[in-house]
Structure 1
Amino acid sequence: MTSILLHPDRHRKIRALFDEYIELYAGRDDRLTTLFSENFSGYAGGGNELVTDRDEWVRITRQDFSEVPGRIRIEMRDIALQDLSEEVVVVTAFFNIHLPQPEHVLSREVARLVLIFRLEGEDWKIVHSGISIPYQLVQEGEVYPLQRLQERNQVLEALVAERTRELNEREAFYRLLTEDTLDVIWRTDANFFITYISPSDERLRGFKAEEVIGRHATELFDADGVIIAKEAMNKGRAAQHDRTNLGFMSFEASHRCKDGRAIWGEVFSKAVRDEHGTITGYHGITREITKRKQMQDQVKELAFYDTLTRLPNRRLLNDRLCQALAASKRSGQHGALMFVDLDNFKPLNDKHGHFVGDLLLIEVAQRLKSCVREMDTVARFGGDEFVVMLGELDVDHAASIALAEVVAEKIRTRLSGAYCLQVEHEGRAASSVEHHCSASIGVVVFLDHEVSPDDILIWADKAMYQAKAAGRNAIRFYAADGGE
């Protein structure tokens, strides 16, 4: 996903809206609800319950206000704003909540709030909210009534199970109830060939019932979804062989549409057994969750990728380094890790501001990616520090060093070229900032699992400082004996 920098004017506008939200929330002011979009979704407290009904969210907000009617104090720790598109901005904030009770346990915990603003007409509205508070605190203080929502969902699931049993006995009543439901209700025989599917499938995927009935259930899914569905089917067959009653099974898979699109569905399935316990078929419901999956992908993006450069962050780098060590053990081929530190970054920030410094970091990230293979990893370690990891070099140590040196020199040369940074301004023409920057590079060539990922990073960092000490714009390899 392409990174979009926040324009200064938009930054101020969204920050003002966020500050208004915090002030209304702290003051327990019902006008807070006017900031929510009609197409709102949110996670309350520390639970996993996704609220997709705006009226339900308003009810939860008002219940929160009634449980703690006095003004609360929000002690802000950190805040970050990021454009997801021209019309969507995400704000992530970390803070302490001080309730009007002395020595309340919440004041010692850090809460995280994610608000997604979307431009609707001329106004920015909140389309998603997720507040994270340690789960046990939600259980004790119940600032957000997630437990009640979860209990209600359990009641609804039990009702669906009972209703499905009745519908199997009375086919006419079954069809009457399913004509207008948004979820897809379906039934198959013991071999997973579809015997009934509700009209909702045509509204979701575009296929008429006669095009689906008689087909195998795997034809509902795209190639990736088929793999997931077959795993669930095999689990069902194994349960039949073992005479195990699994109850309702669920899985998430991508479904194919008649127009070529793919949508995500959450499938709930249950086996139908005769009086002898033999499975005679399956029935269940499929609920579209495309928007929820997209939101989960965005959350994953924020967790494992740097929001500015879109490069892997430290967490994902550490995971890939562990994988590279395991692969090295299997293949006997060396890998290499490079610690890249920009030599002349701070003066740019001091002279032109962090906005221009961010433009440079984005350009550095693109240049680094252009110097390596698709299989290699380029990560942002923090500030103006980057890490490049190469895999599958050579079984010979000297040859691997030579290969790594070629790539390191390519990176050093590429990063030392002039940077022409285009700074956009709202309401006036863009300006250009020229900057010259080089990099100091420390390299470690590794093999097998002889050392830990932390050791490799430490050694590469030491080699990088040797390059700094040598006058910068240089490459140094780490050696256990302290030499190059």
Structure 2
Amino acid sequence: MHPERQRKIRELFDDYIEMYAARDDRLTARFSQSFTGYSGSGSRLIREREEWVRITRQDFAQVPGRIRIEMLDLALQDLCNDVVVATACFHIHLPSGVHQLAKEVARLVLTFRLEDAEWLIAHCSYSIPYQSVQDGEIYPLQSLQEQNSALQALVAERTQALQESQALYRLLTEDAQDVLWRTDGQLVLTYISPADEKLRGFRADEVVGHSVFEMFTEEGVEVIKSMLRLRAMEDAAGGTERFLRFQVEHRCKDGRLIWGEVLSKPDRNAQGEIIGYHGITREITERKRLEEQVHQLAFHDPLTHLANRRLMLDHLEQAMSASKRSQRHGALLFLDLDNFKPLNDTYGHGVGDLLLIEVAERLKACVREADTVARFGGDEFVVLLSELSTQPREAAEQAVAIAEKVRTRLAEPYVLQSAPSAPSIRHECTASIGVAVFRGRDESQNAVIDRADAAMYRAKEEGRNRIQCAPGPAAAG
């Protein structure tokens, strides 16, 4: 038994003995509503809590002074997570000077059950091997034969209760939508509830005996391994045992992938070594889809699906921090379409939207996957370039080369068609581009954007469909 668990059971038992010896009426509040007991002076099991409270108070009234318990032996048993048993042998010394009882070995069996986060006494049984006394007395017991009969009845009752508890557990696990599972120390599944078959399509016999890694995608396996490393670090630091919560994709028998939120906790032996894990998995596929929708709406332009201003500013912040560490330059390209308004005025916003969508696709095709393309609103777009040269002149040349690629591609004619049956519209639309190169945090985000914006306006003033480079931060100031 784990030392911490043993300490807890001993603490529950010692509290009971102290209150009983002190004749403390607060003891009556420790009895479970589903209590059973054997008082020692009766001939039957007590099945009503209130009757046991009455017997206890009768006991305290019969011997009002503090009694002394001389403990002889004590055994602690951990039946399951929420049921523990303490069995003790002792002598009872009454304050009245009656020594006959003190010569006998009394036995006490206490069963504690965890109910709503509180440990309560679910069963109490006394036995003392001497003859019964007159009615109304508490301590004397029935004959040994009656005593054994009562204990046999108790065993039968507790066995039935255990069977009923097991049946209830099976019922709960079979009907639950969440998956309950357990593994050994090598992460081989030793149990999985029927909910997994409903969720992923695998029967229990197809899963038990196999590694948990078979349940997940490659990315999911890496998540599990990172959680194991986190658990090891917490153990090394002496952290408090807790459930780890993480989200991971699961494989289904029909090839689908679903998301599950996993709560996991280790099982330990008496030496505190991890011998396995247990936990609960809940499907969150729909929740993940909704979260992705919310993220998309919050950080992307709904028309072009490009990053919006908010996401671009976040990426610019990251790019400036990375630039400060690496000393590589970055660049911001600010674009404004030159011939967009006439299209909108002539054919309406629906056709204008088609042009913006096509511009977005062309922009994405011109830059690297690591770069960010954003729509700032209207017909304004921004491209964020990172990991350019450490040399200012070379970085500017690299940025201008990409800007020229963008300008050339956007200047190609557009053929727009609002519906399959609608006539196609040919339109030419160029872009004026301002380029601002930056490094580290020599200036603020707004300053970089302002420089690129000002350079774009100079490009427009000088005839449109051209590129203008912004002066550096010092010159701009």
* TM class, shorter-length: 0.5 to 0.7
Q: 1:474 aligns with which of 457, 460, 466?
A: 466
How many residues in Structure 1 have an aligned counterpart in Structure 2?
317
User: Mapping of 1:158-307 within 5 angstroms?
Assistant: 173-240=168-235, 244-272=239-267, 280-307=275-302
Alpha-carbon distance change, 333 to 274 in structure 1, aligned in 2, over 3 angstroms:
closer
Residue 321 of structure 1 corresponds to which residue in structure 2?
316
For residues 311-390 of structure 1, the aligned pairs below 5 Å read 311-390=306-385
Q: Which residue of 1 aligns with 2:405?
A: 410
The one-character-per-residue Cα deviations of 1:155-210 (angstroms, maximum 9, x if unpaired) are: xxx79xxxxxx999965553343223322111223453321101221222232222
Q: Give the match's secondary structure for 2:369.
A: coil
Output one character per residue of 1:23-70: Cα deviation in whole Å (capped at 9) or x when no partner. xxxxxxxxxxxxxxxxxxxxxxxxxxxxxxxxxxxxxxxxxxxxxxxx
Which SS does the other structure have where 2:210 is aligned?
coil
Distance, in Å, in 1 between the alignment partners of 2:443 and 2:238 is 48
Q: Which has more radius of gyration? A: 2
TM-aligned CA distance change 1:243 to 1:461, over 3 Å:
closer
Partner letter of residue 175 of structure 2?
A: D
Structure 1 residue runs of 5 or longer lacking an equivalent are 1-157, 160-165
Structure 1: how far apart are the matches of 2:210 and 2:237?
27
Report deviation, 1:476.
Answer: 0.6
Distance 1:206 1:191 in 2: 24
Taking every aligned residue pair, what percent have the same amino acid on both sides? 55
TM-score w.r.t. the length of structure 1 is 0.60
Secondary structure at the counterpart of residue 431 of structure 1: coil
CA change 1:196–1:330 in 2 (3 A) is same
Contact 1:218 / 1:230 at 8 angstroms: preserved in 2? no
Q: Which amino acid aligns with 1:255?
A: H
Matched, 1:454 2:446: yes
- Aligned counterparts, 1:77-92, within 5 A: none
Specify the code of the residue in structure 1 equivalent to 2:432: S
Where does residue 438 of structure 1 map in the other structure? Answer: 430
Quickly say closer, same or farther: Cα 1:239–1:392, change in 2 above 3 A.
Answer: closer
Separation in 2 of the partners of 1:183 and 1:176? 13
2: CA distance, partners of 1:245 / 1:460: 52
Instruction: Give the partner amino acid of 1:437.
Output: C
Distance in 2 between residues matched to 1:424 and 1:282, nearest whole Å: 58
What letter is aligned with 1:449?
Answer: R
Distance 1:168 1:215, change over 3 A: farther
Give the direction of change, closer, same or farther, for the CA distance of 1:168–1:234 in structure 2 (3 Å limit). Answer: farther
Question: 1: CA distance between counterparts of 2:438 and 2:334?
Answer: 14
State whether residues 421 and 432 of structure 1, in contact with CA within 8 Å, keep that contact through their aligned partners in structure 2: yes
Letter matched to residue 381 of structure 2: F
The unaligned stretches of length 5 or more in structure 2 are 1-115, 118-160
Other structure's SS at 1:318 match: helix
Question: SS of 1:423's equivalent?
Answer: coil
Aligned AA (1:179): E
Whole-angstrom CA distance in 1 between matches of 2:326 and 2:422: 51
> 1:362, CA displacement in angstroms?
0.6
- Code of the residue aligned with 1:321 in structure 2: it is L
Q: Distance in 2 between matches of 1:184 and 1:216?
A: 16
User: Please, what is the CA RMSD of the aligned residues?
Assistant: 2.8
1:167, 1:173 within 8 Å by CA — same for their partners in 2? no
Whole-angstrom CA distance in 1 between matches of 2:429 and 2:231 = 60
1:407: Cα distance to partner? 1.7
